[in-house]
Chain A
Amino acid sequence: MDQAFFLLFAAASVITALTVVLARNPVHSALALMACFLQISAIFVLLEAPLLAVIQIFVYVGAIMVLFLFVIMMIDVREAVLQRFLPGGNLPALVLLVLLGVEMLVLVLWSDRFSVTEPVIVRGGDQIRQLSTTLFADYLLPFEAASVILLAALVGAIVLARKEQG
């Protein structure tokens, strides 16, 4: 049952990811990316990480993709649709990609590090409580650093996108 659901979500996410890269219109790419993020959040549910699934939907689908769509609306994308799709002269990039993919596949399929069986620990409903205790006790400093980074990015984005005075 789990395997069937995993195959369904994985196939859908791979197909939508291919649509992101292959679609000519950036709007189609953005919508396919939104669908892909939804599939990945379903996979997080399969991995028993419900908090991460909800964060994925809130942050990616709710915030980042809306930001992308707003920027696409501000920009005239008709010119981008007309431009040449995959310009020539990127044979080195293709070779690099094939090498990268083959290398990772070989590493995954030959290594015995990935043959771990799933732990059968029955936790109560306090998994999120343990997660937040770890996050706010052991990882407090990285958490604060992340919030400062977010603040700096907010200020930087406003300054960058502002019209220059005069």
Chain B
Amino acid sequence: MVPLWWYILLGVVLFVIGAAGVLLRRNILVVLMSLELLLNSVNINFIAFGHYYDDFRGQIFAIFVIAITAAEVAVALGILVALVRNKSTLKVDDVTMMKG
């Protein structure tokens, strides 16, 4: 029997690692991959709570999270290809066209 907080702890650790990738890395590809890691740790939490409270809604929300992630990755990689074609850079710091 695995206690519930082990799963939650795994989700926390993966979330912090993914947030570190988003905040500290400068390569756009690695930032996108770290975003995937963040969404996956959230999915672990959803499914763990759904299993321990014996409720299907955790799995259903995880399915929706996966669908939205797929859409996000498709759009983000399209933007990335257009960016590399126009500016030929992969560094987040160089993308300041919108003066953000």
Contact = CB atoms under 8 A, between A and B. Distances in A.
Contact of A33 (B19, B33, B71): B33
Max chain A C-beta neighbours (<10 A), residue from B6, B10, B21, B26: B10
Q: Which of A20, A154, A156 has the most B CB atoms < 10 Å from its CB?
A: A20
Contacts, number: 218
Contact of B67 (A74, A97, A118, A149): A149
Nearest to A7: B6
Q: Is the interface of A mostly helix, strand, loop or mixed?
A: helix
Interface string A83-94: 110110010011
Contact of B3 (A49, A72, A115): A115
A97 B12 contact: no
A108 B33 contact: no
A96 B9 CA distance: 19
A47 B4 contact: no
Contact of B12 (A18, A104, A142, A160): A104
Interface of B: 1-10, 12-21, 23-27, 29-30, 32-34, 36-37, 40, 43-44, 47-48, 50-54, 56-57, 59-60, 62-64, 66-75, 77-82, 84-85, 90-91, 93
A2 interface: yes
B84 A75 contact: yes
Contacts of A156: 74-75, 78
28 contacts: A3-B2, A6-B7, A26-B30, A40-B43, A43-B7, A49-B50, A52-B43, A59-B66, A59-B69, A63-B70, A64-B36, A64-B70, A67-B73, A67-B77, A77-B29, A80-B27, A84-B26, A97-B16, A97-B20, A97-B24, A114-B4, A118-B1, A131-B59, A146-B67, A150-B70, A156-B75, A157-B77, A157-B78
A60 B14 CA distance: 16
B30 A74 contact: no
A77 B29 CA distance: 10
Interface in A94-145: 94, 96-97, 100-101, 104-105, 108-109, 114-119, 121, 130-131, 134-135, 139, 142
B34 A21 contact: yes
Contacts of A146: 64, 67-68
Contacts of B68: 146, 149
A46 B93 CA distance: 41
With a 10 A CB-CB cut-off, give which of B6, B56, B68, B85 has the most chain A CB atoms: B56
